Amino acid sequence: MKKNNFQFKEDFLIGSAIAACQVEGSWKEYGKGETIADWKTFNPNLDRKNFKTEDEMELTKEKLNYNVQNESNLIFPNRTAIEFFENFEQDVQQMKDTGIKSLRFSISWARIYPDCDQEKPNQEGIIFYKKLFELLKSKNIVPIVTLSHFDYPIDVINKYGGFDNKKVMDVFFKYAKTCINEFKSYCKYWIPFNEINCTIISPTTGAGIILGENEIELKKQKSYKALHNQFVTNCLIKQYIVEQNLDLQIGGMIASRQSYPISCHPEDVWIDTIASQKNLYFYLDVMTRGYYPNYIKNFFKENLIDINAEHKELELLQKYNIDFIGFSYYKSMTNGRNVETTGGNLTVGGKNPFLESTEWGWQIDPIGLRILMNDLWDRYQKPLYIAENGIGMDEHFDIEKKDFNDYYRIDYLKGHIKNMILAMNDGVECIGYSVWTAIDVISMSTREMTKRYGLIYIDQDDYGQGSHKRYLKESGKWFKKLVDSKGAICFE
């Protein structure tokens, strides 16, 4: 194969991704309501090597109560984030300097409907996002919108609880229709729920379910019920755009759980097969094929789980499938009888002796991306979209010397994007790739600032202190060359 074949096409959606609760700030301004992210705290004593991501992302009623009662003594990083709301014009321009051609961002539900039952949306929220859309349009950056990215509104929780309550489907659908009606002329690609499998891993983060410490046994039942309601809501949104004859596409998105058997022993292979069914394929089987597969029905039966699926809802699942498959990919894991566990992006799995890991235990596996892309394409025949891919590192640069050499990020991105292009040469249809992320943001799992993913450095520490000035890292300069070369730089 000739070298010049190792490129993506001109219309490939190469870009970046951000989330409202990790960048916007202005948590109570311009009519915005509070979200669950606004009440999560930074723990300066967190042991990075020994913590469970899902535990850090969950909130019990008792923990939320404690945070409310001790508000003045705690740190809530998402409330100010990186002040994107006030600086979006500057930040988007600097993102453009990295060469991005697309930007996946989320709209904050609580900024559009601070009171989920109010009839008309908050106009200040509508105005802000229209300004953002207009800015992206002026810079030829294609928007990809996520409607719910881990910032569940407190107002919804107080009134209706989590997504396990079917009433929440109605208020979310109203919000989704408002966004589509207001912004349809700007945006073709829509993802209702970020990493929808987070609802099972961290139901607080993914579905707004907050349980008391004496109610933890309800977690599994409530989370799968909430997930079903989210599946159906996806279909309701797809039905709406079909009936309105809108030229829009609806995608489903998961946090990928790429895994391997720890050995070729048949028992290890079987353990990995079961894990892949439950943790990866299940979500996509429902959203692309339109029904619950037998293996998950057996799981529901064995665990006495009733998802309260109505006949009309199952019909919707069959009729209104997603148009593309979005997924985040950061690492892979192993499964088997005897594995040493490690964490990474919402999940815990077995260590792979052939892979290196980040400080947070995330195993670096570029070839795994190619394997996953081929697997998903062969199984579902739906266009793929890599919604997130990147590496978080504890970074402290010398600002005076203008030394922002994150060579390790360049190595990480080069390896993954190379394997993405190889997968596309294998015959996989992929519409886009979004690095996580173009600019340093507040970490979702630990609320740190020093766990940095950006191509752009922000002079801001874990306590929000610093000049807040932005500086282009070496990876940002490299990413511009990547885009200009349509990926060919990865093969040099």
Active site residues: 195, 388
3-state secondary structure of 79: helix
d(CA 383, CA 376): 9
Residue pointed to by tokens 């989330």: 19
d(CA 339, CA 332): 14
Two tokens, residue 255: 């946090």
d(CA 364, CA 357): 6
Residue pointed to by tokens 């520490």: 461
Question: Which residues in 31-69 are b (16+ Cβ under 10 Å) and which e?
Answer: bbbbbbbbbbbbeeeeeeeebebbebbbbbeebbeebee
Return the ∠ at Cα 472 (arms to 469 and 473), rounded to 5°: 120
3-state DSSP percent of the chain in helix, strand and coil, to 5: 45, 15, 40
d(CA 194, CA 254): 7
| Packing angle, helices 84-97 and 123-138, rounded to 10 | 10
Two tokens, residue 445: 């799992």
| Beta-carbon contacts of residue 47 (< 8 Å; ≥ 6 apart) | none
d(CA 432, CA 451): 25
d(CA 288, CA 251): 10
Task: Check if the beta carbon of residue 36 is closer than 8 Å to that of residue 154.
Answer: yes
Total Cβ atoms within 10 A of residue 124: 14
d(CA 51, CA 36): 21
Phi and psi dihedrals of 127, rounded to 5? -60, -45
Distance from chain centroid for Cα 20: 11
273 upstream amide cis, omega within 30 of 0: no
d(CA 281, CA 124): 40
Identity of the residue numbered 351: K
